[in-house]
Structure 1
């Protein structure tokens, strides 16, 4: 008898929730196997490398196909599911393999664009993304993707290995499994690099060893997370959060064709530097200098003069240190001279981060020279430490007596929940101000898995939702019933919350879209929904709202139940065709 395969919504039962992660295979040592010509990339990674390993495959039946997109083409990928993790969650994943698979030394901005656009195409279908990549240029790709992808709301984790997954002694399994669990469990909305049990911010990393399993480091930024025998320890105070309400976007191209790197060495001639700066169409140069940003001025300042002439021609020159640790600063006279010549101080940018950041800024069509230099000196994606003035006193607290009485995160979250339910904006703000530095309340959930954003989605005050989003709260977590805040807001008929959530990049989960489509069909068949003439039925207005409009004021309010579900709205008292579905608001038929 042939194997039974289910699609998407049908799958093996489990008592544990399930996350979806897309693994994007670009190539690299991790997928290589021996051949007569040496190590070569191998296709069919899911079945050949992951399916036989119990840590990647719980052997659940029947098999499940999951949807994914590549270059606009819908695909049905084979998938596997991990056993329950320490966080009582399965991770279901599929692999999308690029063709041809690349050695990472051959990747270019074209490859970066392909990875970024693949993530964008599948953004609504998965909770997180893992990119398998060779280690030679892994730090460059991580940095590039961090700038190409703005307003990211989900984890994108790059990893690889120093030895093939088929080798007897290899780091591949630990690196891949760690990336998979973090991407499917924690809402860390950054481009990260995972290696040797450590999660780094991608644009802070550099490769420090050609053979060690501890191949990467982030010298000027502590790790975002560490994997230990007790689980994953996330340094939440370092994790970046959105500071504006905006949807995920991708900048397709980086201008790597018109930038260069030059490493200063003792005795370098001004003519050598000048020849690099006169490369046709050069627009930017990363200058790797000594120590804290020093470079020889040359006889009578001739080298500095060459650099100033290039700046006057409109070439952006960025000063970064050759040292692994530390930052550039105009402390010494040679560094000060470069600053006076118009060179931008790159603080503690890595060379990889500086090159890709400059390529990103030069690719933006509306940025003038002064804007590019100004942006290079400030942090865009956490890639650098912005210099701040020292503080000589303890920061003044703004927590009033109501917040001061809160003795733990649990009681604070309880108080926050009551304030959200009551629409008490002032108290909500006071409690959140007391959590300004740790941001614990934005990540906490109640016993039903509802975060503050879930609660605000069914609350009476949309401004609460606005405040939560502006403080960096994620719109993507699902509660125990697998409901997103957007689903709850639409169920409740909170149109303003729906608008805010969508502007922040929220989308319905696959199962929610299917349920909503089915729900609309049931309502239409029973005469509760009138579909417009072009068949583009879209959004169902709240039946509760329709009842109020019809003079009925005793419709019960919708509440989140103990298990995280929103009970179905009764349609018994609603007259047929009372609610009109409009195609102008939102298209349910689009790929989610």
Structure 2
């Protein structure tokens, strides 16, 4: 279905904006621009495109600390978009607003924890951040947020929103529209009308509005004057039956980055590699991964010696585009010495990925070196990675036909027929929806075959999309009393939407067991997590057009 045909009954999306600081919220002061508080009231509430003025007394719950304490926050709502959907949002400001040049792994952990605490309360998250270290934060979060099933979009600006001429309004509005309309479950960076995969982006200009680019990967989406074009074949989706979780202890204090230059002495490199506690080094080399070997291969010996001591060294090209490949003798020499080819990763991605892997329990130099060479969050080009493509020709019509056939096969419990329909390049149909807004997962969630539901989840289907009535697959399964379906959905990270909870609590009085499995009656953050763990442990089942307009099933609800 074309986005412009969406009925007005589509539920509004709820987005949490997390304010960390940066230029976007700055205001003039006698000492220059400084981060300013009350961004929602002083800036957004006064701008019609961010505040339609309706229902001003709607408050949204926000978890404000790890203890699960909630605070009711005032919210604003955007006017209807071209897709006839409105986005309701609230701004949560960090206690200390930072210039991005001051952020570190502690700040990254605070962002990740805030998302984790509020994950079940919002459809998507927008993070406002300074531009200087924005690419580093995007890359770090992409590794820290595990089994992510919702959009997380970072943005900022080159000029404050309080200034007459600024890029802040377009960047924030574009981020809100994408977050509230499209189920892109990745950490992304939105800037100057383009949505990039966060760990493929880098800052390329100090003052231009087009401050970021993704040199080795095309944008995931581009905003035009008429609509947002999403390259759905590039979007990554979780394909494992696991709940969303975070890992916050990045080992940033034991990694370093060194840029090779003509005439660099082996002693200089050795001095860095001899730093106490150093565990990993990102080496920025010439061209396709070349570095001077030095007289009598002195440089190579320095690197090889460090690798033998357990230091992981990653070879990243200094060039903006292209990748490391040992096609020349100098690059081959490094490769043979044990230096890991970083392929087409950015320096930001390589450094944060190295810090993430080194902090994993039971990590070894060998395991880190192995994983640095493989894509784990789409941070490097991997030809073996599965992609989600639209069929050629009239993609929308073909997918509509497939969706209809899938509905019949699901109702009949015919797993073989479902698998046959999904062969080829029809994975995108998983998030498409019928006239009632039901995706294949909605249909499977209250159909007899548990294996069909499991199959869809393992193919990357979203458990967070809502139908026209505002219902998630988890609600439908619980409402039908299908305990095993509920357990499987919960194991895959599903949770009830905030708008469903009141009705779910009413239904739970009649059938408390299955609704308890769905998370009803577990108000605190700690209790919700305990139920999720219990649900997982008790589950014993086995078991065409890349610039397509938004469609009903492509939006979170």
Runs of 5+ consecutive residues of structure 2 not aligned to the other structure: 1-7, 386-390, 529-557
CA contact (8 A) 1:131 1:158 kept: yes
Aligned pair partner of 2:267 in 248, 259, 271: 271
CA distance in 2, matches of 1:361, 1:168: 44
1:464 aligns with 2:460: no
Aligned pair partner of 1:36 in 27, 30, 33: 30
Shifted more, 245-254 versus 312-321: the winner is 245-254
CA deviations 1:269-324 (Å, max 9, x no partner) are: 01000000000000000000000000000001000000000000000000000000
CA distance in 2, matches of 1:156, 1:77: 20
More helix by share: 2
Equivalent runs, 1:211-360 vs 2, <5 Å: 211-360=207-356
Partner SS for 1:99 = strand
CA deviations 1:333-378 (Å, max 9, x no partner) are: 0001101111000000100000000000001022221111100000
Aligned pair partner of 1:145 in 141, 146, 152: 141
CA distance in 2, matches of 1:584, 1:427: 30
CA distance in 2, matches of 1:283, 1:387: 29
1:48 aligns with 2:28: no
Runs ≥4 in structure 1, deviation > 4 angstroms? 583-587
State the shift of 1:485 in Å: 0.2
In structure 2, relative to structure 1, the CA distance for the partners of 1:285 and 1:123 (3 Å cut) is same
CA distance in 1, matches of 2:328, 2:78: 55
Equivalent runs, 1:113-512 vs 2, <5 Å: 113-386=109-382, 408-436=398-426, 439-512=427-500
CA distance in 2, matches of 1:540, 1:110: 39
CA contact (8 A) 1:161 1:172 kept: yes
CA contact (8 A) 1:347 1:386 kept: no
CA contact (8 A) 1:22 1:95 kept: yes
CA contact (8 A) 2:100 2:129 kept: yes
Partner SS for 1:481 = coil
Q: Which has the higher contact order (CA 8 A, sep 6+)?
A: 2
Runs of 5+ consecutive residues of structure 1 not aligned to the other structure: 1-13, 390-398, 400-405, 524-528, 530-537, 542-582
TM-score (norm. length: structure 2):
0.89
CA distance in 2, matches of 1:480, 1:427: 27
CA deviations 1:395-419 (Å, max 9, x no partner) are: xxxx9xxxxxx97221111111111
State the shift of 1:460 in Å: 1.2
TM-score (norm. length: structure 1):
0.84
Which protein is bigger by CA-based radius of gyration?
1
| Number of the residue aligned with 1:590 | 523
CA distance in 2, matches of 1:225, 1:407: 22
CA distance in 1, matches of 2:465, 2:518: 24
CA contact (8 A) 1:17 1:88 kept: no
CA distance in 2, matches of 1:584, 1:290: 56
CA distance in 2, matches of 1:138, 1:451: 35
Partner SS for 1:51 = helix
State the shift of 1:61 in Å: 2.7
In structure 2, relative to structure 1, the CA distance for the partners of 1:586 and 1:43 (3 Å cut) is closer
CA contact (8 A) 1:128 1:183 kept: yes
State the shift of 1:586 in Å: 4.8
